[in-house]
Amino acid sequence: MDMDLGDLLGKKLIIVTGKGGVGKTAVSLALSYLNAKHKRKSLYVTLKEVRRGSYFFGFEGGADSVERPLDKGINSVYIDPNAALREYIRENFVRLYPVYAAILKSKTLQTFFESAPGLKELITIGKVWHLGTRGERRRSTGQAYDQVIFDAPSTGHAIPVLNLPSKVLRMARGGAFRSHVEWVEGFLKDPGETAVVVVSAPEEMVVGETLDLIDAVKSIGISVLFTVVNKAYENPFTEDEEETIRELCSSNESPAAEKLLCIAKSHMERADTSDKYINKLRGGLKDGVLVIPKIFKKDLTPSDLEYIASRCEAQLGGGI
């Protein structure tokens, strides 16, 4: 399948997932920058609160429950599933404030929500969608967005959550929640509206899990747009240079240079390993694979995110 920038930007909701530690947040934010570059407003949504002052790519504001600009054209918000649940109840069932307060305070009800797995998660996904589409509704007051980018939990947690709608539908044969779940299923499974972007890394463990994840997402019936292989080692050397490195590696008079040449050699080997896993992914996937080079920095900055965005764009065909 040819990858197309227009395809990516045309979705309302992009769900970014992948194994823990591969760089989901960086890729999610890079996709936000890609939107911004094309003059489109996007909302970055996370389920992890980022307190003001803690490291977040050098953005000062962090991410909390108030939607606020992260950079030009990019807003960010943190969704607390408990708060989303309260809001859902208030809006859908209890319009009278005192009743709402009394019901939410009851331990019984709290227990009920704890023991009904998926309820909170599904309401959270519903809320993410809601934020993204509110510009299309009349009498809506909030900011309208062209795209919502959902920095979803890692694979281990994501599959059970994405699997939930069908589980819940099997169990709940009636009730308002069933119609909520049907609605969630509706937009999740609409390939024109929603797509999953999987983040991976060129490592054995990660590649295996990536292939499993993509199978699982597809079997649920949700469209996978492409896979981003992050942190790939790139070989910067020409063939002649490689030969020179091998020759000089053990015959150099300067110990410092020798050490550096050995690093260069191991870097080349790693680049080969990266290529091997990238090819494995390409072989196993019909959908596109984008490659992002490893950035030798511990803390990425907004300009690194823009760089990742430009690398993604360069590998996507088409335009908007």
Partner 1 sequence: MKKLDRLVEDKRIVVCIGSGGVGKTTIASVIALEAASRGRRTLALTVDPSKRLAQSLGLTAGAATGKVSRKRMKEAGYTGKGELAVRLLDVKKTFDELIMKVSPSDGAASRILANNYYRSVADSIAGAHEFMAMEALYSSYEEGSYDLIVVDTPPSEHLSDLLSAPLRLHSILDSQGFKSFFIMDRLSFGLTRLVTSASLRFIQGIVGIDVIHDMWEFFTEFESVSEGIKARAVMAYDLLKSPSASFLIVTNLSEASIDNTIDWQRDLKSENYPVGAVVVNRTNRHWDLPRINGAVDLESIPSRGLRDKLAGLYKGYKHEADAEKKALKKLGTEYTCLPVPEIDTEIIGLKDLHGLRDYLFG
Which residues of this protein are in contact with partner 1, per CB under 8 A? 19-22, 55, 93-94, 102-103, 106-112, 114-118, 154, 156, 160, 164, 167, 170-178, 203-206, 208-209, 236-237, 241, 244-245, 248, 252-257, 259-261, 263-264, 266-267, 269-270, 273, 296-299
* 311, two tokens: 């690398």
Burial of 188 (0-12, 13-18, 19+ CB in 10 A): buried
Q: Are 162 and 217 in contact (CB under 8 A)?
A: yes
Print burial letters for 18-55: b (CB count within 10 Å at least 16), e (below 16): bbeebbbbbbbbbbbbbbbebebbbbbbbbeebeeeee
Closest to partner 1 by CB, 16 or 245: 245
Q: Are strands 74-78 and 68-71 parallel, antiparallel or unpaired?
A: antiparallel
Q: Which phi and psi (to 5°) does residue 236 adopt? A: -85, -5
- Provide the total of helices (H) and of strands (E) in the chain, helices listed first: 12, 8
Q: By C-alpha distance, which of 9, 79, 4 is closest to 37?
A: 9
At its nearest, how many Å lie between partner 1 and the CB of residue 111? 4
- What gap in Å lies between CA 26 and CA 47, rounded to an integer? 15
Decide whether 190 or 234 has the Cβ nearer to partner 1: 234
Residue carrying structure tokens 């859902």? 88
Q: Decide whether 37 or 112 has the Cβ nearer to partner 1.
A: 112
In terms of CB distance, is 138 or 170 closer to partner 1? Answer: 170
Please identify, using beta-carbon distances, which residue of 93 and 137 lies nearer to partner 1.
Answer: 93
User: Whole-number minimum distance, CB 167 to partner 1, in Å?
Assistant: 6
Q: How far is the CB of 35 from partner 1 (least distance, A)?
A: 25
Contact 42, 75 (CB under 8 A): yes
Q: Considering the complex, what minimum distance in angstroms separates the CB of residue 27 from partner 1?
A: 15
Angle, nearest 10°, between helix axes 81-92 and 176-188?
Answer: 120
CB 57, min distance to partner 1, A: 11
319 close to 5: Cβ distance less than 8 angstroms:
yes
Q: In the bound complex, what is the minimum distance in angstroms from residue 148's beta carbon to partner 1? A: 24
**Of 100 and 315, CB closest to partner 1:** 100
Cβ closest to partner 1, residue 100 vs residue 134 = 100
Tell the smallest beta-carbon distance from residue 150 to partner 1 (Å). Answer: 18
Nearer to partner 1, 187 or 277 (CB): 277
CB of 163 to partner 1, least distance (A): 9
CA angle 212, 127, 52 (to 5 degrees): 90
